[in-house]
Amino acid sequence: MLLAEWKDNASCLTLNEPILYKMAVLIENKEVYSDEVSVTPGDIGSTHSWNWTSHVPLQCASHTFRLKSQINSQMSQLEQENTLHGETGSGMEKVFPQDAVLEVGSMATFCCIVPDGEQFDKMYLSGSTGRNMSTTQISEQRYTLTVQLEEVWDRCVDVLCETKEPTKRQYGSCVYVGYPPDVRDLQCETRDLESVECLWKEGRDTMVKVKSPTVYQLNGR
């Protein structure tokens, strides 16, 4: 997730009109999303924030956030810009995300950074664990695999990225696919008005207990 925060210029404190902030997100210098935030005169001078969840792992590619302001129909000439750079191909890890816990049925995007001197061949999941797969090149050495995830019982799924001959190498990540905890029939009672005893049932198995065992915490008042 990208979280952006900014403040109004001090010269804006005298305004009686709202400020319209226009933002854009670029992945590898290609615009993929745009949005607007309107700030009322009463909120001018405070800190503003905006967040956005990328479909591409942040380690995989550079994400650039651009911000411009508009008052009435007049657009600012200055544009604020901030870039979060992705990993390079020189590190040990080439496929992202690593060791993630993901939900059955969700659309997941995995990324492969192909080292210099190698050529991309293919990306895939080990076994029959996904459908609607598609591979996309997002830059010269960066590729993504988008897939709808299927059930896997208490084991990790290999996300593999292979390069072509003559190097013919294989890189990978291991992710877990399961369900959120399913709590049912919660009942609580007290016999002395000082302590409470609660009972509940576990519904559907999360299927990721090996990687992410369920921890229960009772919040009461």
Note the pLDDT of residue 210. Answer: 87
Same domain (yes/no): 41, 109 = no
- Region of 87 please: left (phi>0), alpha (psi -120 to 50) or beta: beta
Average pLDDT, the chain: 91
Same domain (yes/no): 133, 61 = no
Note the pLDDT of residue 5. Answer: 93
Same domain (yes/no): 117, 42 = no
Same domain (yes/no): 79, 103 = no
Q: Across residues 14-38, what is the average pLDDT?
A: 93
Note the pLDDT of residue 87. Answer: 87
Same domain (yes/no): 132, 77 = no
Q: pLDDT > 90: what percent of the chain?
A: 69
* Residue-number span of the structural domain to which 71 is assigned: 2-84
Note the pLDDT of residue 92. Answer: 74
- 211 in any annotated domain: no
Q: Across residues 31-60, what is the average pLDDT?
A: 93
- 197 in any annotated domain: no
- 128 in any annotated domain: yes
ω into 166 cis (within 30 of 0): yes
Residue 75's CATH number:
2.60.40.10
Question: What is the tally of structural domains in the chain?
Answer: 2
Same domain (yes/no): 80, 108 = no
Same domain (yes/no): 45, 66 = yes
Same domain (yes/no): 101, 141 = yes
Token duo for residue 69: 């302001």
Nearest to 180 by CA among 98, 104, 99: 104
Which among 37, 58, 84 is the end of a domain? Answer: 84
Same domain (yes/no): 131, 164 = yes
Tens of pLDDT along 192-218? 999 999 999 999 999 998 899 999 988
Nearest to 125 by CA among 148, 94, 106: 148
Same domain (yes/no): 105, 61 = no
Note the pLDDT of residue 191. Answer: 94
Note the pLDDT of residue 128. Answer: 66
- 196 in any annotated domain: no
Q: Across residues 173-178, what is the average pLDDT?
A: 93
Same domain (yes/no): 79, 101 = no
Task: Tell which wins on pLDDT, 129 or 189.
Answer: 189
The answer to whether residue 166 scores a pLDDT higher than 80 is yes
- 64 in any annotated domain: yes
CB neighbours of 71 closer than 8 A, spacing ≥ 6?
15, 17, 18, 19, 20
Note the pLDDT of residue 19. Answer: 92
Q: Across residues 34-53, what is the average pLDDT?
A: 92
Note the pLDDT of residue 123. Answer: 95
Label residue 13 by pLDDT band (50, 70, 90). Answer: confident
The answer to whether residue 153 scores a pLDDT higher than 90 is no
> Using CA atoms, how far apart are residues 218 and 17, in angstroms rounded to an integer?
47
The answer to whether residue 177 scores a pLDDT higher than 90 is yes
Name the E strands within 104-205: 107-113, 120-125, 130-139, 142-149, 157-163, 170-178, 183-189, 197-202
Q: Across residues 139-146, what is the average pLDDT?
A: 94
CA–CA distances in Å: residue 64 to residues 82, 116, 184: 6, 23, 43
The answer to whether residue 144 scores a pLDDT higher than 70 is yes
- 53 in any annotated domain: yes
Nearest to 60 by CA among 113, 14, 7: 113
